[in-house]
Amino acid sequence: MLTYIENILRNRGGLQKVYYALPDSLKTLALNLRAYPLSRLRYSNETLKLVDDLLSRDSWSHDQLLEHIEEQMEELYRVSREIPFYKEIADGTETVREFPVIKRRDVKENYQKMVKPDSRGLIKVFTSGTSGSGLPVFYDRLSYIRHWAYSLKQKVWAGVSPTEWRITFYGPRVCSIQQKKPPFWMTNNFEHQYMMSIFHLSEQNAKHYVDFLEKHQGLVVEGFATVLYLVAQYIKALKGKLSFKAVFSTGEPLYPFMRRLIEDAFGTKVYDSYGMTEMAGFIFECEKGGYHAMLDYGFVEIVDEKENPLPPGEEGYLIWTGFTNHTMPFIRYMIGDKGRFENKTCTCNRPFPLVNPTITRDSDYLVTKDGTILSPRAINQVLKNKVSFKACQFIQNSEEEIVIRVVPDKSMDFRKELSEVKKHLQDMAGEGVSIQEEIASEPLRRGSQGKIPLIVSNIRRSR
């Protein structure tokens, strides 16, 4: 049953039409059928006990943290000896610190050999990363519990109980793209969650969203940075300011101008975080504003282009070694993002070092003819299981046309997946928008840092 409902909400197997045709009461029932087993996993005694254990590490000394990291490194090395990929590339090594650096392309070509043999009960997910190229990732129940416990730990840092009601702006399509009237949200009773559609945000629908938020002030709000920023603009325009307990931002860079507006509109502090589907690393913000690398979740190195370690204060590439997912561990994984160690300690006095992830995603918005604004993370949802692209970008020069610009992996047949992306985008943009295709040899890059934006918009939008 869980897999069936998951397929409906994730647009698998053509089941979404069935879900969308249901009356709201039955859609709520379907969503809660999916939520029930997840809630039992996320908020089990096992998970909450792990949260308490993670919180106890906040009082560790620096030496205690280093000792724990070494223990995790040794355990991970033992696990790696069972995994074909690491047996091949790290033959003759004695510690994971000696493993060669791996990159996204290495994972994409060898992901099946990166899974621990005889693993059972695996969950398969996809990440499209910053380039729009899908990457399969596998994890098991224990890995998921570990990861979720860290997310709950940040909430406790912010003074939020793990089971408090929350309003979320993430990727599930809880209602049809063609739906023109509210509600553009559904209620997940088992997880105390109001799930807001990020696919219906527009000037026309802004009042419905802001009215809902006004009626639910005092709760916790979570979402992707660009979506929260867009909603904050609506709040400022229609109400000036509301009041919530805390806002949690993830998935994209939270720039200072975005933080200022979100905190002003929502009337509370924003707690930012940096993570990844690969479960290799986690950085999150504490109540004092420090970005802490959870080195007990995953160890991070910061290196230059020649993979030489850099001192605090110098920006370099992040290399992650994850301790959380032993089913498909990512060891010395250069994800492509940049950051730097801060040359200071945080006033919260926790032992986890300060790391500033300086370069991650960079992108614009798509705007449809009816005024709907599609954020990078809304578009990202149609790419997560697309593995035949080296890169995929969306170029908009007018409200009447969007170009899907694909750099194909020539070793695969990309046409089927491109057709699927085109269909999903057409559904999102509406019939009045022409969706074109462009096959390219290299992705478009932006700025001196060579960022690869998912969306490139050449039309002006008032803010």
Each residue of 16-55: pLDDT tens digit? 778 888 999 999 999 999 899 999 999 999 999 999 999 9
pLDDT the model gives residue 390: 84
d(Cα 82, Cα 78) in Å, to the nearest integer? 7
Its sign, for the CA torsion 161, 32, 275, 427, is: negative
Domains and CATH numbers, the chain: 2-42+159-268 (3.40.50), 47-152+274-359 (3.40.50.12780), 366-457 (3.30.300.30)
CA–CA gap between residue 331 and residue 278 (Å, rounded): 11
Q: How far apart are CA 386 and CA 389, in angstroms?
A: 7
Of the chain, the end-to-end C-alpha distance in Å amounts to 43
CB atoms near residue 277 (< 10 Å): 16
What are the φ/ψ torsions at residue 276 (nearest 5 degrees)?
-160, 150
Identify the segments of the chain with pLDDT beneath 70. 1-14, 128-133, 359-363, 446-451, 460-463
Q: What pLDDT sits at residue 2?
A: 42
Q: What per-residue confidence (pLDDT) applies to 359?
A: 60
Token pair belonging to 104 = 């996204």
The pLDDT of residue 363: 66
Query: Where are any strands of DSSP class E within 191-260?
Result: 193-196, 220-224, 246-250
Decide: 141 and 134 in contact? Cβ < 8 Å. no
Q: What are phi and psi of 391, to 5 degrees?
A: -155, 155
Measured CA angle at 64 (ends 62, 65), to 5 deg: 65
Residue type, 458: N
| Separation CA 163–CA 180 (nearest Å) | 32
Alpha-carbon span 379 to 89, nearest angstrom: 35
Q: Is 317 exposed, middle or buried (0-12, 13-18, 19+ CB in 10 A)?
A: buried
Q: Are strands 185-188 and 193-196 parallel, antiparallel or unpaired?
A: antiparallel
Separation CA 15–CA 17 (nearest Å): 5
Q: What is the pLDDT of residue 360?
A: 57
How many CB atoms are closer than 10 A to CB 156? 15
CB-CB contact of 313 with 343 (8 Å): yes
Cis bond leading into 183, ω under 30°? yes
Residue 14 pLDDT: 59
pTM comes to 0.85
As a whole number of angstroms, the distance between CA 416 and CA 288 comes to 48
pLDDT at 451: 66
> For residue range 166-214, what is the model confidence (pLDDT) as tens digits?
999 998 889 998 899 999 999 999 999 999 999 999 999 999 999 999 9
Residue 267 tokens, joined: 């009337």
pLDDT digits (tens, 9 = 90+) for 215-239: 999 999 999 998 999 999 999 999 9
Which residues lie across from 127 on neighbouring strands?
135
